[in-house]
Amino acid sequence: MGLTKAEDGEEADLCIVNTCTVTDSADSASRHEIRSLLKGHPNAKIAVTGCMAESAPDSILSIDPRIQIVPNAKKEELIQEIFPDENEFPEFKIEAFEGHTRAFVKVQDGCNSFCTYCIIPYVRGRSRSRQISEVVNEVEGLVAKGFKEVVITGINVGDFDGAGRLSDLVRAVDQVKGLQRLRISSIDPDEVDEDLANAVLNGRTTVPSMHIVLQSGSNTILKRMNRKYTRQIFIESVEKMKERNPDFTVTTDIIVGFPGETEIDHAETLDLIKTIQFAKVHMFPYSVRKRTRAALYPNKVSPIVMKQRKQELMRVAEQASFQLREKFLGRTMEVLLENDEKEGMIAGLTPNFLRVSIPKGHWKANDLVQVKLIENRPDGFLGLV
């Protein structure tokens, strides 16, 4: 449409903000971004879309009259919404991921699960999936552009139902010529069934690593979160995968300080972290989301206790992932280098999601290299080619 990307320091005519509302701090970050764009681009139109635009449109509109809200449901017609008088529009698709060597392919949106803390089903609607053939086409296009690794993403990919299940999708994408690595972004433990395990463990490009969402190690808390599994199911799902491939690793998400979380519940989460030895844990302090059931739950955990528990969980998670890495020390593994350079080093990930830094030399992002893991450091391996 004749528009080009504004360079740093250049004033834009149009700014698009894709907001998130999954936690209170996501709301603050979205608001901050909108305000800073308004200030830095005094003549620009500011289009705001995404989940915060869906959950709190009035509070966003009250920031400035230059703001236009585009609801989530209209996000793919965003350009038409902003330029209603135009007749011809470019196709809406993502072809490049600036700064990323991994390409993210969204295969599903929405969720039917209604976990009691989560706002997503309210702002994204019910689950719907793309067709497998459409996803395969997109992956072929990304591989032709030079991407070696593709990550299948969605709000709840375990719900995928696009003329086949998630396992069928994984098998179909795995066949794409030239693709080197295939990852699933995140999944719930009860969704890792035999069929999906086979698709992941027997694939040509599928990596021996999954992000399996835990949220809490306490069955009492999992039940009150309306999660559909227990800590035993979580442990069994992971152990089954590890038995079939000892290199298999798991990353996870944990919510700290869910209402009513006691010291015993917290200790159960700590214990599970030690048992599983996650390659990485993402920790989120519980954040009250209006309209969700947990917002009405009593016995909220105080911010001080939440902070203490988060620090303890982080410390234990780091020790556990260090211990996990010890098992791989001395091995030679394939590393896909990323745009992650500092002090003469460049870093990347093994197929099973272990971070490795090597001397930069002539290596660059998106190179696949065989690396000997020579030292286990708190932030990952030091390796040599």
Distances (CA, A) of 320 to 166, 205, 353, 357: 30, 27, 15, 20
User: At 238, is the secondary structure helix, strand, or coil?
Assistant: helix
Q: Which of positions 94-113 make contact with ligand SF4 (CB under 6 A)?
A: 111, 113
Binding-site string for ligand SF4 from residue 254 to residue 293, where x marks contact by CB under 6 A and - marks none: ----------------------------------------
Of 155, 169, 272, 279, the residue at the interface with ligand SF4 (CB under 6 A) is 155
Closer CB to ligand SF4, 118 or 317, in the complex = 118
CB of 120 to ligand SF4, least distance (A): 4
Work out the number of other CB atoms within 10 angstroms of the CB of residue 340: 15
CA atoms of 110 and 313, how far apart (whole Å) = 30
Alpha helices in the chain (DSSP H): 24-40, 51-55, 57-61, 78-82, 120-124, 132-144, 166-174, 194-202, 219-224, 231-244, 263-276, 303-326
- # residues contacting ligand SF4 (CB under 6 A): 9
CB of 227 to ligand SF4, least distance (A): 7
Closer CB to ligand SF4, 115 or 354, in the complex = 115
Closer CB to ligand SF4, 184 or 373, in the complex = 184
Residue 118 touching ligand SF4 (CB under 6 A): yes
Residue 115 touching ligand SF4 (CB under 6 A): yes
Closer CB to ligand SF4, 128 or 372, in the complex = 128
Of 121, 208, 217, 259, the residue at the interface with ligand SF4 (CB under 6 A) is 121
Closer CB to ligand SF4, 35 or 126, in the complex = 126
Binding-site string for ligand SF4 from residue 199 to residue 228, where x marks contact by CB under 6 A and - marks none: ------------------------------
CB of 287 to ligand SF4, least distance (A): 12
Of 108, 129, 156, 209, the residue at the interface with ligand SF4 (CB under 6 A) is 156
Closer CB to ligand SF4, 218 or 350, in the complex = 218
Residue 51 touching ligand SF4 (CB under 6 A): no
Token pair 């989301």: residue: 289
With b meaning 16 or more CB within 10 Å and e meaning fewer, what string describes 43-57? ebebbbbbbbbbbbe
Of 17, 47, 52, 120, the residue at the interface with ligand SF4 (CB under 6 A) is 120
CB of 224 to ligand SF4, least distance (A): 13
Distances (CA, A) of 292 to 58, 115, 282: 19, 8, 22
Backbone angles phi, psi at 123, to 5 degrees: -100, -15
Is residue 89 within 8 A of residue 199, CB to CB? The reply is no
CA atoms of 255 and 189, how far apart (whole Å) = 16
Closer CB to ligand SF4, 216 or 350, in the complex = 216
CB of 43 to ligand SF4, least distance (A): 38
Q: At what angle are helices 132-144 and 166-174 packed, to 10 degrees?
A: 30
With b meaning 16 or more CB within 10 Å and e meaning fewer, what string describes 91-103? eeeeeeeeeebbb
The residues binding ligand SF4 (CB under 6 A) are 111, 113-115, 118, 120-121, 155-156
